[in-house]
Amino acid sequence: MNENFIYVIPALGIIGLLVMLAKFRWVMRQESGDEKMNELSSYVARGALAFLKAEWKILSYFVVIAAILLCYSGTLVENSSPVIAISFIVGAFASAFAGFIGMTVATRANVRTTQAARTSLAKALAVSFTGGSVMGIGVAGLAVLGLGSLFIVFYQVYVVSTGGDVNGLEMEKALEVLAGFSLGAESIALFARVGGGIYTKAADVGADLVGKVEAGIPEDDVRNPATIADNVGDNVGDVAGMGADLFGSYVATILATMVLGREVSSPDRFGGIGPVILPMFIAGLGLIFSIVSMAFVRIRKETDSVQKALNLGNWGSIILTAVASYFAVSYILPDVTLEIRGFEFTRGKVFYSIVLGLVVGAVMSLVTEYYTSMGRRPVLSIVKKSATGHATNIIGGISVGMESTAVPMLVLAAGIYGSYELAGLYGVSIAAAGMMATTAMQLAIDAFGPIADNAGGIAEMNQLPAEVRGRTDLLDAVGNTTAATGKGFAIASAALTSLALFAAFCGVSGIEHIDIYKADVLAGLFVGAMIPFLFSSLAIAAVGRAAMDMVNEVRRQFREIPGIMEYKAKPEYERCVAISTKASIREMMAPGAIALLTPTLTGFLFGPEVLGGMLAGITASGVLLGIFQNNAGGAWDNAKKSFEKGVEINGQVFYKKSEPHKASVTGDTVGDPFKDTSGPSMNILIKLTSIVSLIIAPHISLKRGGAHALLEPFIGKVGNEVVAFYQAPPLEAHTPSFEIKLQRLKE
Amino acid sequence: MNENFIYVIPALGIIGLLVMLAKFRWVMRQESGDEKMNELSSYVARGALAFLKAEWKILSYFVVIAAILLCYSGTLVENSSPVIAISFIVGAFASAFAGFIGMTVATRANVRTTQAARTSLAKALAVSFTGGSVMGIGVAGLAVLGLGSLFIVFYQVYVVSTGGDVNGLEMEKALEVLAGFSLGAESIALFARVGGGIYTKAADVGADLVGKVEAGIPEDDVRNPATIADNVGDNVGDVAGMGADLFGSYVATILATMVLGREVSSPDRFGGIGPVILPMFIAGLGLIFSIVSMAFVRIRKETDSVQKALNLGNWGSIILTAVASYFAVSYILPDVTLEIRGFEFTRGKVFYSIVLGLVVGAVMSLVTEYYTSMGRRPVLSIVKKSATGHATNIIGGISVGMESTAVPMLVLAAGIYGSYELAGLYGVSIAAAGMMATTAMQLAIDAFGPIADNAGGIAEMNQLPAEVRGRTDLLDAVGNTTAATGKGFAIASAALTSLALFAAFCGVSGIEHIDIYKADVLAGLFVGAMIPFLFSSLAIAAVGRAAMDMVNEVRRQFREIPGIMEYKAKPEYERCVAISTKASIREMMAPGAIALLTPTLTGFLFGPEVLGGMLAGITASGVLLGIFQNNAGGAWDNAKKSFEKGVEINGQVFYKKSEPHKASVTGDTVGDPFKDTSGPSMNILIKLTSIVSLIIAPHISLKRGGAHALLEPFIGKVGNEVVAFYQAPPLEAHTPSFEIKLQRLKE
């Protein structure tokens, strides 16, 4: 491998962003329909921007405070640097920018999709999928460009210019500083996913409770003051939230693999920094082949299957990336066998790990599809139970959701086990990177859903011809399936990302074992497993409170603004948008604080091994609760939708408005915060706690004074013995010579 | 300590059983009311017996097969014996007998309580609580007698007669054989708790759906064919199920502590076998002081508080046992300091561990009470959310249930951490034993609830004067609170028991670490954490199917037996009892198989360390799901009950039959299988998987040929290396000399 090969990586990111720009301009050039269509669409676009601005304002405080803390803490230990604050800010900015791109294109593509649906289904698919592609390519492109260029800078500064060892402390420092990028990205994801999840459901429930139930007006009625907030919510939650979530996973997975790659890197063995740059290059390849495969997503006739077109694109990107990975691995890694902790480490095994990751991701999506699709056993069982009432519908959904955790957990366990057997912890991590490689395509398919959904809403509000609505409905139905599989992919990626980060954390913190035979580590595991339950409880309760604020505002507008119901006065849409925005930001503080503080406090108070136990607990229980809530919610949703065409239960056919249908609506309402708020937030929780742990790892490292690094001015640790100083040691004490000095002090 | 002191332990058990007999005879001497009251009561008694008989029939097959397997496997390794099959049978028999006693007295005490309520509240409390006491003392007495006498026999046979070391293989063998008693007890608990849980809810839901909803007749109406099955279910689930559950916890905790006590036992240090017999003696003391404190549970006037009387008894037994434990520890353990794995081990620290266990149990009960009591914030929040519909009621309950896991998990973690710091793994285990010491009292209070509940039902069915029903209602209300706190105690005890068994398993299997940094162990943890979700899903779905069977049968009887509704024909109660019995036994097969096979397969295929990771996963996630489901169910129940007196929501007062009340009924129905079937089954799941692991530990022990002991005829393991034989080694190969032979074979 040529040394200058590392410059190829940011170049791939730039190519991606240029393609994105071209696709964005293409979308904007499409016809956007008549004035009335544009008016409503522009309300949504402005509302979405209002949310982003409010979010950014709070975020800017958070980012500044966090950056100062990171800057300070970066000075404390040798294998970090204050520069970490800069990569944190860049990461946060890149993530926010990716969200902005996605929201901008989604709120433009929706009305253009509606207009295109007047012509043909093929055209409507082209517009909506291209809109989704902009989001997907933007996220992946920014990640590859950001990580790639920052790495080059830090590699030059910390390793090349110091003549440092690529396998040593210098490289560890370069990667630790780069980890700030990932923390920045994931922090934004916390706001976008958790805040966005609360926003979307508060607006939805608020709009429905007063509009549909009290005022008796249909969904998406322009007279409902909360209707714009509701539509904004779809974009905020499903587009920006999902985008930030996957951006975070993508970056964190690559980063964790790089950190683990350092261990196998060496100038004189296994191709220099090959293992470090491999995950970035695979991501770059995945981006390019996702773009190539997007060309497969097209139909020619009205009767062609949209789902098949999307599947073709998806599998195309997976297979092309897998094939390309083979050559990439062959080029970057040398054909030698390395012995690491009893493993035979070869490039062939690395390649198989990547393939294993791709397979795990695909299986997880398939299982999700099975448990949440109409017409399959799980959803049918809920439909049938709706006939005996609200309670049996709920029990059925909970049972299905719990059952649906079994296969994914076995697949995940097999993936961990298999990739570890192949290539150790690097194998686990590169498997995750392989799975995430086609993120651009996954996200394009994901973001296509809400665009089609919104397009259908616009068609409905403007009472366009049945033909047009037929086309948007068809796209919307496909979008519902992709939404479910997208969630399966997101939780699988979060799980593997957390494991990769977990492995990286163990490496950096210098722990060799996480022994749950020790009572304190086991206690950490127990408390960790509880955190996702507490987090879910807070998220669900938050939706309830935020929805109540919305209900009160909508009631006030109906009461105080005369003429709304007669279309004579326009409701104050902005106030509802503002209420939802404010409530969501207020309500995400407590869960956010839990995600950030739990690992920090545990790490500093009890040390890295207890923190490791806690991370395992959070990850296991978080993945389970995430799958349970996503799938139960998805299954309830489609059980309700089954009634639209009529379902036969015990020889009787039931339609909408029947008693069983009412029971299914209850299930769907319970499932809403499950699948759109607390379920997806599990992804963020497990990743954020892991990334925070990785960031604090150098401070609590066993290699450098134990769990009391911040107390080091007064206490030092040699081996297992705690030594007190009567006088604070100078800062330079925080170097390897520290222990020697301590030793002298002791003597 | 005098060597003959060990004979005191079974003597305490015998004293307990004699007191139990006296109390039983006292209950039977009470007036049982008129003929009509007795007729219904006798139906229930016969139905309960029918269930027990059917259960025993299946059980007898299971016990025979399991005993044969145990007998065979006992021949395979040196530190076990075929005799384990005998202690298994004795354990199963003792547990079944305890359940029989409890059911017998409960189905006699109920009608006598109704009759006593004609006289005074004091008298009614005396009868119902004495009924519960018989159950409590019976369970504890049989456990102390059984364990104590079997231990004496095995100690004589394996240790004393062979001149073996109390700290060595001989004692390990004696205790391993004794572990069969615990496995027998817990296997019966599986049938009683899981099967009983399915039974009680199937009958309940079946009776309600057809009786209340379709036929429009009130609860407990004699015309409903399922009404007897419903009443039997209360006894099967709440009396026999709870009794078997706590019997299992009690025995397992004592046993695990004994196994761990061996490590600190030695003829020449720390008082010989003192640490081994201490937990049994503490249990014996707890039994005696529970009996003493039962005298405190009495009231004199009608206006005296029943709850206060129960609390006085409860705290009396806890405090007396704590004080007595101080003297017991001082007598049995010598005043020396022992160094174990870096711990200073003293008798003072052992005593504090016992106290810590008592405190953890008390706090867990208090937290449960807070989350499930009427008038407190959690239940009030659900009541309030009922005003906005079925879905918000459900969301509220789920949120409360999830939140309620936080404090118990922190308390549990603190308990593990604290007791470990005090006295290592023996400390964790003896803390659990301390907590379980007052089981007789806990169970007396628990079993009092369903007796009072049944008494109220009999009063209702026979339309006794309002005065009588007022008294039984009062007792019933107190019983609802004790039912909730009892569940808190049961899950806490199951958690600590599992941890104690987990520690014992580690000791016997010879693993020094359970390192979740290893991918296979982590994969085990993930799969383990999933098991409780799958188990819950199966249990909940089973209730649905079993209830459907009942619904069909009740419908058939109404259709085919003319005159039921006009009181002219008697419904075929027995058929409903038979249906419920059959369905519950059929439906518990799958969850039961999971509990038994998962640890067995994992242990033999992947070895003890992966199994250890899996146990940690099962325990953490099982405890969480147990607390979540119990508390959500309890809170929903009391939210519904709050409407009986009327509740004010947003300035409006709502009563029964209002819309918010209907929403609260939905929550209660969802909560029923949560709190009565799948929630309590978590106790069994986590304990049974741990005890099975302990039983198979010698076979998969790292000390004796690795994870492939059963394959040893063909494969052997030396260190990490697998050695294949061309010829099966003889049975004597399974001795310490085995490794020497292997070594030779290699050379």
- Residue B718's contacts (CB-CB under 8 Å, 6 or more residues apart) are B739, B742, B743, B746
pLDDT tier, A3 (very low <50, low <70, confident <90, very high otherwise): confident
Would you call A515 and B514 a contact, using CB atoms and an 8 Å cutoff?
yes
Would you call B526 and A666 a contact, using CB atoms and an 8 Å cutoff?
no
As a whole number, mean pLDDT of residues A129-134 equals 96
Determine the distance in angstroms separating the CA of B371 from the nearest CA of chain A, rounded to an integer: 14
What tens digit of pLDDT does each residue of B404-422 get?
A: 999 999 999 999 999 988 8
Look up the ipTM and state it. Answer: 0.88
Q: Is the pLDDT of residue A341 over 70?
A: no
Q: Is the pLDDT of residue A165 over 80?
A: no
DSSP letter (8 states) at residue A652: E
- Residue B737's contacts (CB-CB under 8 Å, 6 or more residues apart) are none
Q: Is the pLDDT of residue A141 over 70?
A: yes
* B623 contact residues in A (CB cutoff 8 A): 526
pLDDT at B92: 93
* B512 contact residues in A (CB cutoff 8 A): 517
Of A10-14, A695-699, A702-706, B183-187, which gets the smallest average pLDDT?
Answer: A702-706
Please report the number of interchain residue pairs, chain A to chain B, with beta-carbon separation below 8 angstroms: 208
Its pTM stands at: 0.89
Cα A168 to chain centroid, rounded: 32
Q: What percent of chain B has pLDDT over 70?
A: 92
Would you call B402 and A522 a contact, using CB atoms and an 8 Å cutoff?
no
pLDDT tier, B636 (very low <50, low <70, confident <90, very high otherwise): very high
Would you call A620 and B621 a contact, using CB atoms and an 8 Å cutoff?
yes
As a whole number, mean pLDDT of residues A90-119 equals 92
Would you call B541 and A514 a contact, using CB atoms and an 8 Å cutoff?
no
Would you call B513 and A515 a contact, using CB atoms and an 8 Å cutoff?
yes
What tens digit of pLDDT does each residue of A46-83 get?
A: 888 888 888 888 888 888 998 998 888 777 777 778 88
Of A17-21, A92-96, A333-337, B184-188, which gets the smallest average pLDDT?
Answer: A333-337
Would you call B620 and A526 a contact, using CB atoms and an 8 Å cutoff?
yes
Phi-psi map region of B306: left, alpha, beta (phi>0 left; psi -120 to 50 alpha): alpha
As a whole number, mean pLDDT of residues B663-677 equals 91
pLDDT at B267: 57
Determine the distance in angstroms separating the CA of B91 from the nearest CA of chain A, rounded to an integer: 29
As a whole number, mean pLDDT of residues A99-112 equals 91
What tens digit of pLDDT does each residue of B12-65 get?
A: 999 999 999 999 999 999 988 888 888 878 888 888 888 888 888 888 888 899
What the block records as the tokens of A493 is: 């990626």
For every residue of A262-285, DSSP letters joined together read: HHH-BTTBTTBTHHHHHHHHHHHH
Q: Is the pLDDT of residue B601 over 70?
A: yes
pLDDT at A458: 85
What tens digit of pLDDT does each residue of B495-520 get?
A: 888 988 888 888 788 888 889 888 89
pLDDT tier, B745 (very low <50, low <70, confident <90, very high otherwise): very low
Interface test with B, best of A392, A398, A690 (most B CBs within 10 A): A398
Determine the distance in angstroms separating the CA of A347 from the nearest CA of chain B, rounded to an integer: 20
Q: Is the pLDDT of residue B309 over 60?
A: yes
By three-state DSSP, how is residue B333 classified? coil
Place of tokens 């990286």: A504
For every residue of B178-228, DSSP letters joined together read: HHHHHHHHHHHHIIIIIIHHHHHHHHHHHIIIIIIIII-PPTT-TT-TTHH
Q: Is the pLDDT of residue B268 over 70?
A: no
pLDDT at A725: 35
From A400, which residue of chain B is nearest by alpha-carbon distance?
B537
pLDDT tier, A717 (very low <50, low <70, confident <90, very high otherwise): very low
Determine the distance in angstroms separating the CA of B154 from the nearest CA of chain A, rounded to an integer: 29
Which burial class, exposed, middle or buried, applies to A609 when counting CB atoms under 10 A from its CB (0-12, 13-18, 19+)?
buried
Would you call B525 and A612 a contact, using CB atoms and an 8 Å cutoff?
no
Determine the distance in angstroms separating the CA of A37 from the nearest CA of chain B, rounded to an integer: 34
Cα A306 to chain centroid, rounded: 25
Q: Is the pLDDT of residue A718 over 60?
A: no
From B385, which residue of chain A is nearest by alpha-carbon distance?
A544
Q: Is the pLDDT of residue A630 over 60?
A: yes
From A512, which residue of chain B is nearest by alpha-carbon distance?
B517
Closest CA to B137 of B274, B36, B295, B15: B15
As a whole number, mean pLDDT of residues B694-712 equals 60
- Residues A610, A612, A616, CA angle at the centre, nearest 5°? 115
Q: Is the pLDDT of residue A660 over 50?
A: yes
Which burial class, exposed, middle or buried, applies to B215 when counting CB atoms under 10 A from its CB (0-12, 13-18, 19+)?
middle
Q: What percent of chain A has pLDDT over 70?
A: 92
Q: Cα dihedral angle (B676, B677, B680, B683), rounded to 10 degrees?
A: 170
Query: Residue A22 corresponds to which amino acid?
Result: A
A249 vs A40, residue with greater confidence = A249
As a whole number, mean pLDDT of residues A675-694 equals 91
pLDDT tier, A720 (very low <50, low <70, confident <90, very high otherwise): very low
Would you call B396 and A515 a contact, using CB atoms and an 8 Å cutoff?
no
Supply the mean pLDDT for chain B: 85
As a whole number, mean pLDDT of residues B61-72 equals 88
Q: Is the pLDDT of residue A479 over 70?
A: yes
From A503, which residue of chain B is nearest by alpha-carbon distance?
B517
- Residues B421, B422, B425, CA angle at the centre, nearest 5°? 75
pLDDT at A72: 84
pLDDT tier, B737 (very low <50, low <70, confident <90, very high otherwise): very low
Q: Is the pLDDT of residue B712 over 50?
A: no
Would you call B522 and A416 a contact, using CB atoms and an 8 Å cutoff?
yes
pLDDT at B674: 93
From A662, which residue of chain B is nearest by alpha-carbon distance?
B390
pLDDT at B109: 93
What the block records as the tokens of B597 is: 């096979």
Determine the distance in angstroms separating the CA of A338 from the nearest CA of chain B, rounded to an integer: 19
- Residues A711, A713, A716, CA angle at the centre, nearest 5°? 70
From A411, which residue of chain B is nearest by alpha-carbon distance?
B527
What tens digit of pLDDT does each residue of B533-589 get?
A: 999 999 999 988 888 888 888 888 888 888 888 888 888 888 888 888 888 888 888
pLDDT at B703: 52
| Beta-bridge mates of residue B716 | B723
A726 vs B538, residue with greater confidence = B538
Would you call A624 and B399 a contact, using CB atoms and an 8 Å cutoff?
no
Place of tokens 């419908």: B555
pLDDT at B160: 84
What tens digit of pLDDT does each residue of A490-524 get?
A: 888 888 888 888 888 887 888 888 898 888 999 99
For the ranges A533-542, B464-473, B545-554, the maximum mean pLDDT occurs at: A533-542
pLDDT tier, A271 (very low <50, low <70, confident <90, very high otherwise): low
Q: Which of A402, A523, A621 sits opposite B624 (nearest CB)?
A: A621
pLDDT tier, A721 (very low <50, low <70, confident <90, very high otherwise): very low
As a whole number, mean pLDDT of residues A139-156 equals 94
* B540 contact residues in A (CB cutoff 8 A): 395, 398-399, 402
pLDDT at B713: 37
Supply the mean pLDDT for chain A: 85
* A416 contact residues in B (CB cutoff 8 A): 519, 522-523, 526
From B542, which residue of chain A is nearest by alpha-carbon distance?
A399
Q: Cα dihedral angle (A733, A736, A739, A742), rounded to 10 degrees?
A: -30
As a whole number, mean pLDDT of residues A269-277 equals 74
By three-state DSSP, how is residue B340 classified? strand
As a whole number, mean pLDDT of residues B272-290 equals 91
pLDDT at A702: 61
pLDDT at A347: 85
* B391 contact residues in A (CB cutoff 8 A): 665-667, 669-670
